[in-house]
Structure 1
Amino acid sequence: MNYVLDHVGIAVRSIDDTLPFYLTVLKGTLEDRYTSDAPGVEVHVAVVRTEDKVIELLEPTNKNSPMARFIKQRGKGVHHLAYRVDNLDDAIYEARKEGVRFLDDTRRVNARGRRLIYLNPASTNGTLIEFCDYVKS
């Protein structure tokens, strides 16, 4: 199984206030912008590509969303690291054999066709990690 850093999710209070830094200072390109109103997600997303990495800026859509709670508890900044895997089902199976626990209620296909699930931070020494793959068309 290959594990390749796919993107870094960054919690922000305002994408509009944060985006200029990534576009101007880091010379990024805005690749996509969308809203996910799925229960348990509820974020505005801006996808920025720098020369060699992808960053997702994540802004809560309401004060009760999981992202709003994250910012209230931990502040703005890195929310998660996402690793692209060859096959999400196989990666979950292999990790579970090693005792890794998952946040099973986070498993979904996002608005752009990425299958994903978050690992339980108790299994990663506190870091929120996403495994993801992309649905083949």
Structure 2
Amino acid sequence: MEHVLDHVGIAVRSIDDALAFYLNVLNGTLEDQYTSDAPGVEVHVAVVRTSDKMIELLAPTNKNSPMARFIKQRGKGVHHIAYRVNDLDKAILDARKKGVRFLEDTLRTNIRGRRLIYINPASTDGTLIELCSYANINNSDD
């Protein structure tokens, strides 16, 4: 199964403060901005497209959110790398057969329709990796 780089998630304290760099220096375009108050997510998101890839700026909605804990423990910066797959269920099954463990409670569909799950960083030598698929678009690179 093909895994295509979909986006990079960047932990920031403030979307407004971070946006200037991505829009003015990297010449990105703000594609979407939303807030997810779902328990265990609790994040403000700004989706920025650069010439060829997407970046998600992720800011905590409150001081107890998972993103706030991440920033407190590891600081601002890269939070995760996301790979798009054609069939998320098959990708999960294939990875499990190879011994990959997932953060099971992260399997969900976000408010923009992206299905996703995070791989346990113990299986990736420390990097948080998201696998995702989109129900409303063709996931192939054709």
- TM-score class, shorter: over 0.9
Deviations 1:83-112 (A, max 9, x none): 000100000000000000000000000010
In the alignment, the residues of structure 2 paired with residue 135 and residue 71 of structure 1 have an alpha-carbon distance, to the nearest angstrom, of 31
Instruction: Structure 1: give runs of 5+ residues left out of the alignment.
Output: none
- In the alignment, residue 40 of structure 2 is paired with which amino acid? G
In the alignment, the residues of structure 2 paired with residue 136 and residue 112 of structure 1 have an alpha-carbon distance, to the nearest angstrom, of 10
1:43-82 map, 5 Å: 43-82=43-82
- In the alignment, residue 59 of structure 1 is paired with which amino acid? A
Instruction: Structure 2: give runs of 5+ residues left out of the alignment.
Output: 138-142
1:4-15 map, 5 Å: 4-15=4-15
In the alignment, the residues of structure 2 paired with residue 107 and residue 80 of structure 1 have an alpha-carbon distance, to the nearest angstrom, of 15
In the alignment, the residues of structure 1 paired with residue 74 and residue 30 of structure 2 have an alpha-carbon distance, to the nearest angstrom, of 26
What's the TM-score once normalised by structure 1's chain length?
Answer: 0.99
Q: RMSD in angstroms over aligned alpha carbons? A: 0.7
Task: Give 1:116's aligned residue.
Answer: 116
In the alignment, the residues of structure 1 paired with residue 28 and residue 94 of structure 2 have an alpha-carbon distance, to the nearest angstrom, of 35
Paired residue total = 137
4+ residue segments displaced more than 3 Å: none
1:10-49 map, 5 Å: 10-49=10-49
In the alignment, the residues of structure 2 paired with residue 113 and residue 21 of structure 1 have an alpha-carbon distance, to the nearest angstrom, of 27
- In the alignment, residue 27 of structure 1 is paired with which amino acid? N
